[in-house]
């Protein structure tokens, strides 16, 4: 089996370790990019396979290959946006996406699932021309409860991504059954990194509602013995804030 793999980051490294530990005899071409490219390349070399760096020359080489010349395209945290000229070179494709699609298409899906009070999870899906809207090969929902931080949910999701791929790849690798079409179309937004950056700033000089809420929380905070209370989903919680001054960036207005 001939497999084209795009990969980067420590998560991609974990997925590669799982892939090659189970199926080291397949023929792989790895396309590697930062971050963590050195560690990824070291692992690929240790398993005895070839790699190419993600650049214009590598993409041109892939485009020159015959159509359907690869049995699979695996995107293991590669971060590359695929177009028809690459997709047409493979028979089947798989992307590991850290969300319960169609929720959380695009960048930073863990943040948006929590921010928008939406389901979270892991989805293995086919790669299509539109980002993260390809047919679903397999998915699992991760159930989480309030209060949970974005970092805590992220750790759960990434752990599940590695677990799901490790268990499902042996089944999907040779499975001839049809995948499940995603529904929702344009109903579900595809997020970009600029959306997170924009949402990540509260300007209390301009946002009166947020200012009054934060001041209310601070005014009620008298240590561990007394703070503002809230009711949410038939449970009661206590709220305390940690606010630290950081260097001001003039463009954050």
- Give the pLDDT confidence of 102-158 residue by residue, as tens digits: 999 999 999 999 999 999 999 999 999 999 999 999 999 999 999 999 999 999 999
pLDDT of residue 224: 87
The pLDDT of residue 214 is: 96
Q: Looking at residue 176, what is its pLDDT?
A: 63
pLDDT at 185 over 70: no
Lowest mean pLDDT among 29-38, 145-154, 181-190, 216-225: 181-190
Q: Over 90: is that where the pLDDT of 179 sits?
A: no
User: What percentage of the chain exceeds 90 in pLDDT?
Assistant: 90
Q: Which CATH architecture has domain 2-196?
A: 3-Layer(aba) Sandwich (3.40)
Q: State the pLDDT at residue 229.
A: 96
Q: What is the tens place of the pLDDT at every residue in 17-73? A: 999 999 999 999 999 999 999 999 999 999 999 999 999 999 999 999 999 999 999
Decide if pLDDT at 240 tops 60.
yes
- 252 pLDDT higher than 60: no
SS3 for the chain is CEEEEEECHHHHHHHHHHHHHHCCCCEEEEEECCCCHHHHHHHHHHHCCEEEECCHHHHHHHHCCCCCCEEEEEEECCCCCCCHHHHCCEEEEEEEECCCCCCCEECCHHHHHHHCCCCEEEEEECCCCCCCCCCEEEEEEECCCCCCCHHHHHHHHHHHHHHHHHHHHHHHCCCCCCCECCCCHHHCCEECHHHHHHHCCCCCCCCHHHHHHHHHHHHCCCCCCCCEEEEECCEEEEECCCCCCCCCCCCCC
Structural domain boundaries of the chain? Answer: 2-196, 201-253
């Amino acid at each position: 089996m001939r497999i084209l793999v795009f990969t980067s980051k420590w998560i991609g490294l974990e997925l590669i370790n799982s892939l090659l530990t189970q199926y080291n005899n397949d023929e792989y071409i790895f396309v590697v990019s930062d971050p963590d490219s050195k560690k990824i390349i070291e692992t690929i070399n240790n398993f005895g396979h070839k790699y190419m760096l993600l650049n214009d020359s590598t993409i041109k080489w892939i485009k020159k290959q015959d159509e359907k010349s690869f049995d699979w395209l695996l995107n293991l945290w590669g971060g590359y946006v695929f177009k028809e000229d690459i997709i047409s070179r493979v028979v089947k494709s798989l992307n590991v996406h850290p969300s319960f699609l169609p929720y959380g298409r695009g960048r930073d899906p863990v943040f948006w699932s929590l921010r928008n009070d939406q389901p979270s999870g892991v989805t293995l899906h086919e790669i299509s021309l539109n980002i993260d809207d390809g047919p679903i090969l397999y998915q699992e929902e991760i159930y989480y409860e309030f209060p949970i931080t974005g970092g805590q949910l992220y750790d759960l999701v990434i752990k599940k991504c590695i677990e799901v791929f490790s268990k499902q790849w042996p089944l999907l690798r040779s499975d001839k059954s049809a995948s499940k079409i995603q529904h929702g179309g344009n109903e579900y937004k595809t997020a970009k990194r600029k959306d997170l950056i924009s949402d990540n700033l509260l300007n209390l000089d301009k946002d009166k509602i947020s200012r009054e809420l934060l001041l209310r929380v601070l005014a009620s905070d008298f240590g561990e013995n007394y703070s503002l209370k809230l009711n949410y989903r038939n449970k009661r919680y206590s709220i305390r804030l940690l606010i630290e001054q950081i260097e001001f960036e003039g463009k954050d207005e």
